[in-house]
Amino acid sequence: MSVVPPTSGAARQLGNEPGQLLSALFSTSPDAIVVVDGAGTIVLSSPSVAGLFGYHPDELIGASIETLLPLDRRDVHQQHVAAFLAQPHARAMGVGHDLAGRHRSGETIPVDISLAPVEVRGRQYVAAFIRDAAEQLRAVNRLHAVNEITQRLLGGAAPEEIFPDVAASARLLSRSDAVWIVLPNDEGGLEVSFVDGPNTDLLLGVALSPESSRSAGVIRRGTSETLEDLSTTARALPQFAVLDLGPGLYAPLVTEERRLGTLVFGRVHGSPSFSELDVAFAEVFASSITTAIVLAESRAELERLGIVAEDERIARDLHDTVIQRLFALGMSLQATRSGVADPAGAQIDDAIDRLDQVILEIRNTIFRLPARARGDEGFRTAVLDCVEAKHEQLGFAPRVAFDGPVDTAVPGPVAVHVLLVLEEALSNVARHAGASFAEAVVSVRDGNLEVLVMDDGRGIDAAPTAGSGLRNITDRARELGGDVSFRTREPRGTIVEWRVPL
């Protein structure tokens, strides 16, 4: 096969050496180059063929190209060759197809092939430029695995549900013999929580030091680490030695926000060490999984907060609107009852009792809303519980109202004072006022927290002294830099106004 010398300026610089240049490029190309004639017989092969297929280049001369094809693909290949020779043009081979070659050992290897037809002295040849596609295929499979795991996480799966698949995918894609995942345990240490590979069940539950273990160091540093022999490392445990593992790779399951644990890969003695590509794959895979977990947790938290917010809205609507209207209806019936004789009066009394029962059932429904049942109880709920607890002592259910962001704006220490103030104020109403009505209003506005407690009792001037109760209320306001006032309510009753800055 001859080569026509180029006639450009570059050719003049090369002098009479273009053939030597082409020969050097052919010999040093990282891609395996195989040239076949129209019958599919190999007439030329480059040195890189040895690294990819395991054959010496001279061994393939005169052999059929099908020597380099998996047995189950040879019939289809013949059809593709015929179609290509009918309209030959340079192109990538089998775009959209899963291409594979056959190693001398019989192993099927993924490849990427480009074809270039060449005509020399009237004879048709085809040059195939063949590249190892293992890493490309591994990258695609990694994306598929991460995508599937991410979809499961975003669909509601918990991390502990997807970790077995993480371990299985990591072992398959890294061509490892064993994979295990090290996570923190409830005691503050580390342990092997998930495994994949023959006999790796021996590792489940193995405790590791949170200070001195290799996994702990990888988690702290957030960088990968490789070693040549897992079974003889100073920190290896007997369970690891039983697996006869040689090359090892530790990849951190970390992001900027979270440090979940370590993903560990092991290969048996005699296997190749983990290459830089292996390390890069492990780091990208581990980082992608960790990011997916953090994303899923963030989404779940947003959904939870949305549910809590909706439950709080429903609770406010029920309490501040429905219950208050029922209270008003009950008060109206009580006012009417005084001028109605039995048996109509008895029916009104029965209606009032039923209203009280309906109000109690609505309050119980509020407390059973899903967000509240999960323990997401805020300051508003604590106020409702405090006031509800005074029902029996007062002899009637006091009303409660809220205004402003009371659940989010009131710090914990201030909230404790508010609950104690409500306790004192309502206890004074029960002991001294002789009231049939009481209402507590908690509001946040203009940087201040206000608590109003009103009743329709004797009034502050007519009531017996409240003793230390009112002093306690006053002292609590002053301790927080606020103030309190006690005044008469028209037409009768008392108003306690307690205000502190936030």
Give me 83's structure tokens. 């179609």
Q: How far apart, in whole angstroms, are the C-alpha atoms of residue 89 and residue 91? A: 6
Average pLDDT over residues 97-115: 84
Start-end of CATH 3.30.565.10 domains in the chain? 377-502
> Within the chain, how many helices (H) and strands (E) appear?
18, 17
How many Å apart are CA 265 and CA 309, to the nearest integer?
44
Both tokens assigned to 90? 């340079």
CB under 8 Å to 204, separation ≥6 — which residues?
192, 193, 194, 195
Q: Which uninterrupted H or E stretch holds 136?
A: helix 134-154
Average predicted confidence (pLDDT) for the chain: 80
Out of 40-54, 108-122, 124-138, 347-361, least confident range = 347-361
Which tokens go with 268? 């048996």
pLDDT for res 341: 78
Residue for token pair 């967000």 = 371
| pLDDT given for residue 464 in this prediction | 42
pLDDT at 224 (0 to 100): 93
Cα separation, 270 vs 276, whole angstroms: 18
Percent of the chain's residues with pLDDT above 90: 17
Residue intervals of the chain classified under CATH 3.30.450.20 are 31-132
Phi-psi region of 55 (alpha: psi -120 to 50; beta: other; left: phi over 0): beta
Mean pLDDT of 170-179: 90
Strand partners, 254: 259
For 60, the 3-state DSSP assignment is helix
- Averaged over 69-96, what is the pLDDT? 65
**Residue listed under structure tokens 């209207």:** 325
Contact 377, 405 (CB under 8 A): no
pTM of the model: 0.49
125 by Cβ neighbours in 10 Å (0-12 / 13-18 / 19+) ranks as middle
CATH 3.30.450.40 residue ranges of the chain are: 137-300
pLDDT for position 374: 46
* Residue 2 pLDDT class (50, 70, 90 cuts): very low
**Residue with token string 């023959």:** 198
CATH value of 377-502 in 3.20.20.70, 3.30.565.10, 3.90.550.10, 3.30.300.130: 3.30.565.10
Instruction: Collapse the DSSP code of 84 into the 3-class scheme (helix H, G, I; strand E, B; otherwise coil) and give the result.
Output: helix
CATH fold of the domain at 137-300: Beta-Lactamase (3.30.450)
pLDDT per residue over 8-42, tens digit each? 343 444 445 666 777 788 888 888 899 988 888 89
Of 22-26, 243-247, 424-428, which range is least confident? 22-26
Q: CA-CA distance, 254 to 217, in Å (whole number)?
A: 12
Q: Which helix (H) or strand (E) holds 160?
A: helix 159-174
Asked whether residue 7 carries a pLDDT value surpassing 60, the answer given is: no
What's the Cα-to-Cα distance from 318 to each of 7, 158, 358, 366, 405, rounded to whole Å?
91, 34, 12, 8, 17
In the chain, the N- to C-terminal Cα span, in Å, equals 91
CA distance readout (Å), 29 to 21, 53, 230, 238, 486: 12, 15, 37, 47, 95
Q: Give the whole-number percent of the chain exceeding pLDDT 70.
A: 81
Class of domain 31-132: alpha beta
Distance, in Å, from the CA atom of 215 to the CA atom of 261, rounded to the nearest integer, reads: 8
Digit-coded pLDDT (tens) for 287-310: 888 888 887 777 666 666 666 666
What does residue 101 show for φ and ψ, rounded to 5 degrees? -120, 175
